[in-house]
Each structure stands twice: as C-alpha cells, then as structure tokens.
Structure 1
Amino acid sequence: MKKLDRRTFVKLGAAGIAAPAIIGRASSVSAQDAFKGEGLIVVSWSGNYELKFKDAVVDAFNAKYGTKVETVGGWDQMVPQIKAAPADNPPFDITVSDEYTALTGLAENLFVKTDRSKMPGFAHVYPWFDENRPAGKDYGVPFGGGTIWMLANKSAGIPVNTWTSLWDPKAQGKITLDATVFAWDLCIPAILDKGKPGIEELYGKPEEVRKLYDELDKLKVARWYADGAELANLMFQEDAEVAMAYSTDVYDFLTKHGDQFDAAVPAEGTATYCDWYIKVRGTHHSDLADLFQSYLLEQETQQNFLNVSSAFMSRDDLKAPAHFPGYPKSNDDYHKMFNVLTMEGWAKFVENWDQYDQWIKQTITKTTQG
C-alpha cells in the first residue's frame, strides 16, 4: 500500500475560533461546506472492488462535499500497518474489515466505536449484520459483503447452481481453487455436509476439519490460483474452466463476458464475509470519517455500488440488479443464503493454523498430480 502524508485537521473560521462549533454538526448543508479540501484515506479491498468503490462511492462523495477522500487497496496488512504506526498518526483513517480483520484489530484496540445516533441509515440495515457480528457490531458501519460463487465456462457444460458440480466427472482436470485463503475452499464441502448447520464443520476439532480436506482431495485441479488476476488468466486461457470465484471478480465475468461464462450463488447457499468500514484510532479526521461512514449507509450510495458489483449490500430497500439472480430480499433470505465465517469461527480456526496450512499444501500437491 502506498505511503501518504497526513494532513493536519482543517482549520475553520477565523484564528482562535473553536472548531467544534462546526465540526460534528447535524446539518448536512453545513457539512457540504465545512470539509472542503480535507483529506481522508479509506482502505477498501484491493483489485476490482477498489476500482468500483472509487468510482461509485469515493468520487461521488468528493463531488458532493468538496473533499479529497482517497481509497487505497488492502487485504490482510491493515492491522499490522496500524500497529506499526504511531498511535496518534495512523496510516489511514477508515478501513474495510471482514470478520478476521475485526477480530485481530479489536484484540489490539485499534478501532473506534461508532456513534449510531449520527447515522440515520442504520434504520434500514438488515438485522442480520448485527446478528453475525455480535462482538464487533459497535465498531464501524456494515456496507455490505462478499461471497464465493460457482463460475464456469459455458463450453464446459457444468451447472453453476450447485457446489456438487465441482465433483462432477466432467469437471475433473478443469477446476481452479484459491490457494491463498484456503478457508473459503473448505467452506464448500462444509456447506454440502449436513452434519452441522452452515459452515460450522470448519470450527470443529482438527480431526473433524480433516474430513473437509478429504473431500477436496477427491478433486482433480488444473491449477490453484493466488489472486483474482491469476483466476481471470486461467479462465480466459481455458487452462481452467470451472472455479470457485469471489464476488469481487464475478461481476466482470458476467457483464463483460456473459456470452462465455456462467456464474451463480449455488442453491445450497454460500460462505460469506461482511464489509464493515471502521474508524481507526488516532485519526485526525474523526468528524469527516463519521460523515463518510454515514454516507456508506445512504440508499443512493449502496444502490450505485450494487449496480456495478456482485456484492450484497446492507440496506433493506435496494433494487436487485439483473446480474445477481436470486438477490436476497429479506432478513430471512440473508440467513438462508449466506453463511458468515464469523469472528468466533476465525478464532477457532486459527488455533490450528499451522496444521491446516500443512494440510492444504498436501492437498494442492495431491489434487494437481497426473
């Protein structure tokens, strides 16, 4: 992530007049003038998500308020970067957080609680978001979330409406899966296993989790990908024709190459992470951060982002996009469709990380032989 200089807090009014008379105001009209020229650094997910977040959210916010908000991409480095910086001068002001980022950041006291009274958009947020982050719901705003999808080249003749297609004999030797954050691969056999609800098999003892690896070992994988760029290369070159793909990448496959690819959230449901945007401790731009967080909950903001992505959003009053068939329309739909890899679940999973990391290396070797 690029290193950016921090600007001091914007001075308002004549010298000697206290800023709080304007900062923290409830009036959106005064807010449109109060923050002109002020900067804010927001971390969003690297890659396609970051580009769409800039176009659909950040640029519109800057146009409305005359601010200089920037977004920079990140994946798993945000917590270490905050820890490495002085407590009163963080490297960014707001960060996106999945459940793992929230778990590790809260353990280090790196985040600031959110004053929901400043953010009327919470009235339209599905309760599902709080229900799936009980230990972290006081920190940040739920913008939406991401999922894993089935993606296939139409020429492969593999249905994308069920995860069982990965074990279809026609798919063998044509599959690609994620070699980096392999917990999501393990979620697929967990969803198909009806022994426990959702993906709870992932949170069990190592001997229980081992059964999920055994299911992956039955696959014949063309190649395991390291990131979205490699996934796209494999699919377009037809080195692989069937994939577990993230929602951050699926949108372009469907909207730009829909004649070549099919993609769907399978009928059995999917594994999910939620995107909460959290204020970082020590920020010099606390009030602007509050304004930006509130903006993330506005209907127009979320609809604009939903229209150009395959994410799901937190508001309950959005129009489902054509490129997301079966988009959830109620809190019950969210529960049926999405299985969150929770903060508590990550805490249990990482207890045996070294063992699981060793096993996935063996699985990669085994499934790509011959």
Structure 2
Amino acid sequence: MAADPDRVAETSESTSESVTDAAGSSVSRRRLLSATAVGSATALAGCTELLSSGSGDPLRVSVWSGNYADRFEEAVVPRYEDEFDAEIQIEPGWGDILTDIQTAADDDPPYDVTITEGNFYYYGRQDDLFHEIRTENVPNADELIDYYADFRTTEYGMPVDGAPCTIIHREEMESEIESWSDLSGSAVAESNGVGVDTGFWWYPMYAAAVGMDDAELGEEMHDADHHDDVLETVRNWPIESWAESGQDVWQAFQDDIIDVAQWYYEQTAYDIDDYEGLTHTMPEQTTGYLNHWCVVKGTDKRDRAEEFINFLMDAEVQTAWSEEMPTLFCNENTEYAGDLADDLPSDSEEASNIAFPDWEFLAEHSGDLSDEFSAMRNS
C-alpha cells in the first residue's frame, strides 16, 4: 500500500481531504442506496459450495498498484481461479479508489471487492461505501488472530494482510540502528540523512511517537497534547528525501542522498538484496498498516465477493501467498515462508507491538496534522 514502488501517491492533503469532503457531504451518493442488501442472503455451509463458481462476469477486485498488484496476481489470482472456476479482474489503484466508488452509478460500482488500509476503511465507512460482512459467509473469520479481530471493527471489512514499518539503512550502520528512537541519535544525525514517506504522513509520525516512548506504544498520536512534540521529533530528523514511492527510496540510497529510511516491510524484505550495501532492521516496537477487504455497495456479486474475502483469509492461501510477498497475515494458522516469522507477528502478543493508526481519533485532527507535515516538507 503506502510502500508501493510504482504508485504516485497523492499528498497528505489530497488523500485525506478529498475523502473527508466526500464523507462529510450532506447527501452522499452511497447514503442514497437502499438499506436492502444487494444479492441473496444465502448462508454458506462451506464457501467452496457457493453458486458463484464458474458463473457470469469476472469479479472486479481493487488492489494496491505496483508490485503489490504484480505479486497478488502471481500468488493469489491463479489459485482462486483454479479452485472456483471463476475469473478475477484485478484493478490496481491507489488514491482514487474511494473517489471512483463515490462517483460511480449507484448500481454500477467500479469494483465488487476493494482493499482498504485504516484511512480508507474509516472514511469509506463514514460515506456508506461498503456492505456489512455477513459472517456466515466468511467462516475463516473464526481463525483470525484475536488482536486483529478486536482492535478495529470487522463489521464492514475483514482484516487479511498488512505490513509493519521497518528501518532501511546502510549495512555499516547496523549496530547503530535498532529502534525508531535511533533516528534521533548521533549516528543518524551524522549520516547523509533520512528518507520518509510523504504521501502518508501518519506513518513517519507514528514511528516518531513509538521512538519517543513518552506514552505506551505510540499513544502520543492519540493525545492531541502530544502532537506538537511528535511533530518536533520528526522535524529534528535530518530528512533529505520525502519519498512518494519505494522507487524514490531506493534511488535516494543509490544517489547517496540518504543513509536511513522509514519504509514498509512488505516492500522491503524481498527486494533489499537487489541493492548493494543496504539492510533493514525491524524494530521490536513499530507502526504499520492493516488491510481490511470490503464488499462494495451496489455490486450484484455480493455472495461471490464474500466468498473471495473468505478465500483470502484461508491459512493455506496466506501461507502460499507469503512465498511471493513478505506480508503480515491475520490467520492464526498461517505458516510464513522462510524466516518471515522472525519479524512478522503470529499471535496477539506480537501483533500488539505494532501501533496501527486509530482513525476514529485521528480524523478529528488530521487536517491540522496534515498541514503541519506539509509545511515541514515544503520548508
């Protein structure tokens, strides 16, 4: 998601404000939809028995663009199409995903299923863009790691995958970089500089809050009285690259502009060996994102959409998926490929060491925080 190497991320203002404006409109397109559920209320004895198999038009699935889409198409699409004799049409995108749904005709949404991270999931719910998930159609929800099932509502979307933030750095700095607090230390201050994600300001800020350790695991971000301190911490990092993509980060290292970067494990672990002299350190406590997968209101394939989400939640699917993508997964029975389990959480205790942004709180303050972050970047 935020780490997609090929996306052109919108600025924090355009990402947040455009969605907020739509969510705050007096009469939203989606709020005019009938409360009557689209499609049948067929319960599943087992999702593989759903009538969707081999039927009709392809299921249109919105995913993050770039190598997320590439790896998703390699690891997930063939397995689903073989198992269900049904076609998937992948729709890569980023900042336009919610806007595309909002501006489409009521009965003709651009996607049947969409991926969302915390920001999109929050604002999409506010604008009534998603169907409620009928839990009888997603039995794999019973295998969710408790933390992922509890920390954010699953009423309109199921947690499937995500990524913690990791610290990329020169190999010679390895002994100096262990936690987010080290970005405020002397080794980084004396380096060429730091790269951070500019499209999604909340992740650098949460990383700074985790490193500050003035409150429990980034809770500084959930207390407006601490926001100035968090912003000041980021200002004091020697930031030399405001990256809009993973490619920006790798290029900044190759051009000797930076020696350290805040980025995303899912876009780092399988790619970093392509770059000489670089390594990465996963802090014991960090921040990150979690994708909730949602059924888009207006679809005429609600049953198939829930079948697909249930498929994504299957432990065997996630195990195979991890061979192609170093992604955090939410099924407690997933077995990570290689040594991914050394870094990625496999239970609630480990998952609780990731400070996921709380948009129920952040929404009220996002305008001010976005403005401050933009001013910092522009200066």
Normalising by the residue count of structure 1, what TM-score does the alignment of the two structures yield? 0.83
1:260 to 262, 266, 277: 277
Choose the corresponding residue for 1:317, options 330, 333, 349: 333
1:259 Cα deviation after fit: 6.0
3-state SS of paired residue (1:322)? coil
Could you tell which deviates more after superposition, 287-296 or 68-77?
68-77
The aligned residue for residue 360 of structure 1 is 373
Distance 1:44 1:29, change over 3 A: closer
What aligned pairs does 1:93-172 form with structure 2 within 5 A after superposition? 93-133=112-152, 136-157=153-174, 159-171=176-188, 172=191
1:150–1:242 contact (8 Å) kept in structure 2: yes
Q: 1:29 to 1:338 in 2, by over 3 A?
A: closer
Aligned-partner SS, 2:365: helix
Q: Is 1:241–2:259 an aligned residue pair? A: yes
| 8 A contact 2:241–2:249 mirrored in 1 | no
Cα 1:73–1:158, aligned 2, differ >3 Å: closer, same or farther? farther
In 2, the alpha carbon distance for the partners of 1:279 and 1:47 equals: 22
Q: CA deviation at 1:77?
A: 2.2
- Once the 2 structures are TM-superposed, how far is the Cα of residue 252 of structure 1 from its aligned partner? 3.0
For 1:363, give the aligned amino acid. Answer: M
Q: CA deviation at 1:26?
A: 3.8
* Paired residues of 2:218 and 2:355 also in contact (CA < 8 A): yes
Aligned length: 339
Taking structure 1 as reference, are residues 179 and 204 closer, same or farther at Cα in structure 2, changes over 3 Å only? same
Partner secondary structure for residue 290 of structure 1: helix
Deviation at 1:36, TM superposition (A): 4.4
Which structure 2 residues correspond to residues 1-370 of structure 1 after superposition, within 5 A? 26=45, 30-31=49-50, 34-36=53-55, 38-133=57-152, 136-157=153-174, 159-171=176-188, 172-205=191-224, 208-254=226-272, 256-257=273-274, 260-267=277-284, 269-324=285-340, 325-335=342-352, 337-350=353-366, 353=367, 355-365=368-378
- The residue matched to 2:215 in structure 1 has which SS? coil
How far is 1:277 from its partner? 0.6
Q: Which runs of 5+ in 2 are unaligned?
A: 1-6, 8-38
Percent of pairs with identical residues: 17
- The CA deviation at 1:253 is 2.9
Report the residue type matching 2:160 in the other structure.
F
User: What runs of 5+ residues in structure 1 fail to find an aligned partner?
Assistant: 2-18
Q: Which structure has the bigger radius of gyration?
A: 1
| 1:128 aligned counterpart, secondary structure | helix
Output the amino acid matched with 2:351.
Y
8 Å CA contact 1:36, 1:65 repeated in 2: no
Alignment partners' CA distance in 1, 2:58 and 2:269: 30
State the Cα deviation string for residues 313-370 of structure 1 (Å, max 9, x = none).
11111223334323323212211x21111231332332xx1x323322342355xxxx
Q: For the Cα contact (< 8 Å) 1:173–1:221, is it kept in 2?
A: no
Query: C-alpha separation between the residues in 2 aligned to 1:48 and 1:132?
Result: 28
Task: Report how far residue 296 of structure 1 moved.
Answer: 0.8
Give 2:22's aligned residue. none
CA distance in 2, matches of 1:139, 1:347: 18
Distance in 1 separating the partners of 2:292 and 2:177: 29
Q: What SS does the corresponding residue of 1:240 show, helix, strand or coil?
A: coil
Between the aligned partners of 2:230 and 2:109, the Cα distance in structure 1 is 40
Displacement of 1:147: 1.8
